[in-house]
Structure 1
Amino acid sequence: MARRRQLETPSPEALKEIEAGIDRDLARSPGLRPPIADVVADAARHADPLPQADREAIARDKADAERLRDAEGKGLVAVELPLEDITADALNRDRIELDEEEMQELMTSISVNGLRLPIEVFEPLNPEDAGKFALVSGYRRLTALRRLNAVSGGDRFQTIPAFIREPGSIANALVSMIEENEIRSGLSQYERGRAAASAVHDGIFASVDEAVAVLFQHASKAKRSKIRSFAVIHEELGDMLSHGTGLNERQCLRLAGALRTGAAERLRAALERAGGRSAAEEWEAMVPVIESTEGEPLDPSRGGRPKTAKKVEKARRTEVARGITIEREYGPAGYAIRFSGSEVTQELVDTVMDNVRHLLEHG
């Protein structure tokens, strides 16, 4: 019967030698390394050695970055845009006249203190016609910056802070523009009617009734009814009235009433004789016609309810000089040429008309 070999406990020196041998074998054969060793080493490498205050600061920075990305996605972060990338008249502006004294005050404020309130723009679906960015609100601020840029010879005021919005539709953009102007300084009675009539003319709405209901959705029922009346004035006399914004509410209502009796042609003739020298002279010229119609029955075909939109064909806009664009239109009333841009003035249009008249008369 064989004798059993008695096992002895290895000495500390022997254990160290055994461990060293195992480490050498593992180093030569990485595949023999037990998974738990990798897990432990990885955990040790990724242990956060930063102090508590630094870890809190990193967490705050991460949260701030997430909020910034969310705000940018909602168009709540202003960006600097070059002035030449913004088209001011991509939307038919509701504001017609700019008070020159107020404009000079705004320019002085911007030159001294900078622009404190960004404008609002959106990226149109037709950038080849409407530009890279189309203005929603801030027409006075953009005009002031452009004037300051021109005064500086183009060296200063080259950009403007802007919020890039996603209005979803041109109708929503028009609502934003009108609401901003109503809140800041209010539109004239004529400008309100013109905004609704122009939106129908541009094909954004099918009727004045729909345009007023959307563009002035927060106005009272009585106010919307008046705006529909003011729209009639622009539809019938918009190309003749040079000082429509000077008409007060009562004058607009009387004028709309006269138009509903069928007096449009007589009123147009009166305005042509007046020559458009001032709001007072235009009104005085129309008063006899208006008074002669008061008390007459209204023409049912010219009621306050809106007309159906008429199809207007438009050619592509062409930029000619100084930011001025021209566009040919054709509709039921015939051909028209639309001039747009901050540099368009009554004198410029009169000069163009004189040249056209000369061309037609002399071949």
Structure 2
Amino acid sequence: MAKRRKLEAPSAEDLTRLEEEFTREVARGPLSAPIAQVAAESAALHEPRPAGERAEVAQARADAARLRDAEGRGLVMLELPIDEIDADALVRDRVVLDHEEMEELKASIAKGGLRLPVEVFATPDDSRGFRYGLLSGYRRLKAVRDLHALTKDPAHAVIKAVLRDPAAMGGTFAAMIEENEIRASLSHFERGRIAVIAAQQGAFVNTEEAVNALFPMASKAKRSKIRSFALIFEELGDMLTYPDLIKEKDGLQLAAALRDGAETTLREALAERVPTSPDEEAAMLARALDGLRTEADPRRGGRPRRAAGPVRALSTGVSLQTAEDAQGWVIRLRGKRVDRELVEVLVRELERMLEAPDR
């Protein structure tokens, strides 16, 4: 008969040890990974919010995506701090701002707010800290800035704006000009000026290309006139006081004279004094052009060409100019001091000088 073994109950220490070993084995066993994975997935899929709230979150995400897309395409009106907009990011096509019109605009904005937003483009690399450059709406931005400086009203510290993304530099100039052509026609000088500046800043190869690209809807004759005023800006722009008020006929005559090499004569005429009115400046230019008029060559019929010398401006305010025509030499006097008495004195002095000396 086999001898029976006597069983002993495990101690508390043995039970603790066995439990710990069992736990470690289960954790390492083949069932541990699927159970852990199922638990993790269940926790991830569990959404404590009700269905209605989950639908609102999904709608908000979709709305945000549409808003970002609309902003990128310039379809959303923004409210930007006026200090973040560089009004001179582009050279403006407008030369003169009418004071009375500006006052009316400020009064309108102060009463009813700004109805039409300005247009801006991003300038992330601006070293001065401007976030945006002004594309169109120079008068509106200036009016809002003037109102803020005057009233300190926080409502005028921001301005309604639409963000644009011009494809190229030529696009920004074209958009600015198109906006002003629609709202208020530019003068020929302003058109010529911006074409020259756009070419100088590298937006176009030359002024001719700038005129063609910036004014594509203009007739061939109109583009020719714009190029003539562009020449006036290049040669005389720094000397003219009222360039935007030059009449079309006068401007074409000036351009023709400049093409004939009259730049020096015209600049000397403008240097005599600073005109106080557009009419006075026009008269100064007309006198200079009179000295450059051509008379045909007798051998070819008509009036012979007149060779005009430079204008000599004296400290007394009188200017002298000589010219030669078919009949001889002419001395032209200009200035407020020039009158009949002075001319008679000068004629007598010339007679004395030209008389044969006494023998």
TM-score (norm 2): 0.64
* Cα contact 1:274–1:281 (8 A) shared by 2: no
Match of 1:255 in 2: 254
Question: Where does the alignment leave 5 or more consecutive residues of structure 1 unmatched?
Answer: 1-29, 298-363
CA distance in 2, matches of 1:71, 1:139: 24
Match of 2:114 in 1: 115
* Cα contact 1:241–1:276 (8 A) shared by 2: no
- Greater Rg over alpha carbons, structure: 2
* Cα contact 1:274–1:282 (8 A) shared by 2: no
Q: Does 1:212 align with 2:228?
A: no
SS in 2 for 1:187: coil
What letter matches 2:185 in structure 1? G
SS in 1 for 2:80: strand
The alpha-carbon deviation at position 57 of structure 1 amounts to 8.6
The alpha-carbon deviation at position 56 of structure 1 amounts to 9.8
The aligned runs of 1:176-191 (5 Å cut-off) are 176-191=175-190
Match of 1:132 in 2: 131
The alpha-carbon deviation at position 145 of structure 1 amounts to 0.5
Match of 1:142 in 2: 141
Write the deviation string for residues 226-273 of structure 1: whole angstroms up to 9, x where unpaired: 111110000000000110011122222122112111111111112122
The aligned runs of 1:188-207 (5 Å cut-off) are 188-207=187-206
CA distance in 1, matches of 2:247, 2:184: 16
Match of 2:277 in 1: 278
The alpha-carbon deviation at position 63 of structure 1 amounts to 5.9
CA distance in 1, matches of 2:131, 2:58: 38
Match of 1:168 in 2: 167
Q: Please, which moves more after superposition, 229-238 or 77-86?
A: 77-86
**Paired residue total:** 267
* Cα contact 1:121–1:164 (8 A) shared by 2: yes
CA distance in 1, matches of 2:121, 2:295: 48
CA distance in 1, matches of 2:200, 2:295: 29
Q: Please, which moves more after superposition, 211-220 or 114-123?
A: 211-220
* Cα contact 2:124–2:131 (8 A) shared by 1: no
Match of 1:6 in 2: none
SS in 2 for 1:128: coil
Q: Moved runs in structure 1, 4+ residues, more than 3 A?
A: 48-51, 54-67, 153-156, 291-297
Write the deviation string for residues 80-127 of structure 1: whole angstroms up to 9, x where unpaired: 211111111121111011111111111011111111111111123640
Match of 1:225 in 2: 224
Question: Where does the alignment leave 5 or more consecutive residues of structure 2 unmatched?
Answer: 1-30, 297-359
TM-score (norm 1): 0.64
RMSD (CA atoms):
3.4
Q: Does 1:91 align with 2:53?
A: no
Q: Which of the pair has the greater relative contact order for Cα pairs under 8 Å at 6+ separation? A: 1
What letter matches 2:75 in structure 1? L
Q: Please, which moves more after superposition, 141-150 or 206-215?
A: 206-215
Match of 2:104 in 1: 105
Match of 2:268 in 1: 269
Match of 1:357 in 2: none
Write the deviation string for residues 50-88 of structure 1: whole angstroms up to 9, x where unpaired: 69xx99999876765443232112122122211111111
Q: Please, which moves more after superposition, 126-135 or 113-122?
A: 126-135
Write the deviation string for residues 157-192 of structure 1: whole angstroms up to 9, x where unpaired: 111111121112222111111111111111111100
CA distance in 2, matches of 1:296, 1:174: 43
CA distance in 1, matches of 2:127, 2:148: 24
What letter matches 2:285 in structure 1? M
Cα 1:163–1:291 change in 2 (3 A) is same
CA distance in 2, matches of 1:240, 1:113: 41
CA distance in 2, matches of 1:262, 1:252: 15
